[in-house]
């Protein structure tokens, strides 16, 4: 068994992680199983998250926004909107490269769209900077009277696409 524990100054358990090589009930092969026990508190000292996994009374209790069991979808969701779930899913799928939601009406701003999930947005009269191309779009998006400025890696891709487009018109 491998693991560690974190306690507060009064000796109360905050976080415990254990990894064991074992056979799950109904399983055929032994595998590494990681369990956690945790008590997380907010600034006011109120318990907001409690986990007790790997025990007979295994459970997760939370009063904060949370999602558990990601394998392309979530098994348990607490107090999250569909937009928040989409952003969380995108952050997990892209290993954190996309981590910020851009939605609603945006007018007359300079935007860097790398790292953003653009969802149901109307972007108008903006300067839109693209550097790595690590962004995603979902839903209905509109770009109206915007100037796109490509930098670095994305400029290389823009140049390639423009070159290919010229070849197709010849």
- For the segment 22-79, what is each residue's pLDDT rounded down to a tens digit? 887 788 888 888 888 898 888 998 888 888 876 778 788 888 888 877 776 777 787 8
Q: How confident is the model at residue 126 (pLDDT cuts 50, 70, 90)?
A: very high
Q: What is the pLDDT of residue 33?
A: 83
Q: What is the pLDDT of residue 80?
A: 87
Q: What is the pLDDT of residue 47?
A: 86
Q: What is the pLDDT of residue 49?
A: 86
Q: What is the per-residue pLDDT across 111-120, written as a single tens digit (0 to 9) for each?
A: 999 999 999 9
- pTM listed for this prediction: 0.65
Q: What is the pLDDT of residue 123?
A: 98
Q: What is the pLDDT of residue 22?
A: 85
Q: Percent of the chain at pLDDT above 70?
A: 99
Q: How confident is the model at residue 163 (pLDDT cuts 50, 70, 90)?
A: very high
Q: Is the pLDDT of residue 127 over 80?
A: yes
Tokens (6 digits) for 167: 């070849």
Please give the C-alpha separations between residue 155 and each of 27, 54, 72, 125, 161, in angstroms, as whole numbers. 50, 50, 32, 21, 10
Please give the C-alpha separations between residue 64 and each of 69, 77, 78, 147, in angstroms, as whole numbers. 16, 10, 7, 40
Q: What is the per-residue pLDDT across 74-93, written as a single tens digit (0 to 9) for each?
A: 777 878 888 888 898 888 88
Q: What are the DSSP calls for 46-94, one per residue?
A: -EEEEEE-SSTT-EEEESS-EEE--SSS-SEEES--HHHHHHHHHHHHT
């Amino acid at each position: 068994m491998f693991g560690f524990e974190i306690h507060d100054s009064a000796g109360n358990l905050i976080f415990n992680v254990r990894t064991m090589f074992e056979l799950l009930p109904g399983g055929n092969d032994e595998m590494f199983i990681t369990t956690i026990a945790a008590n997380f508190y907010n600034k006011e000292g109120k318990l907001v998250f409690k986990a007790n996994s790997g025990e007979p009374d295994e459970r997760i209790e939370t009063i904060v926004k949370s999602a558990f069991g990601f394998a392309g979808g979530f098994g348990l969701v607490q107090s999250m909107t569909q937009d928040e779930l989409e952003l969380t899913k995108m952050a997990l799928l892209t290993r954190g490269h996309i981590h910020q939601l851009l939605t609603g009406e945006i007018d007359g701003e300079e935007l860097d769209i790398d790292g953003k999930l653009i969802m149901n947005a109307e972007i108008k009269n903006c300067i839109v900077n693209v550097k790595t191309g690590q962004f995603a779009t979902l839903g209905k998006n509109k770009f109206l009277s915007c100037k796109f400025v490509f930098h670095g890696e994305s400029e290389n891709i823009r140049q390639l696409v423009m070159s290919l487009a010229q070849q197709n018109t010849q």
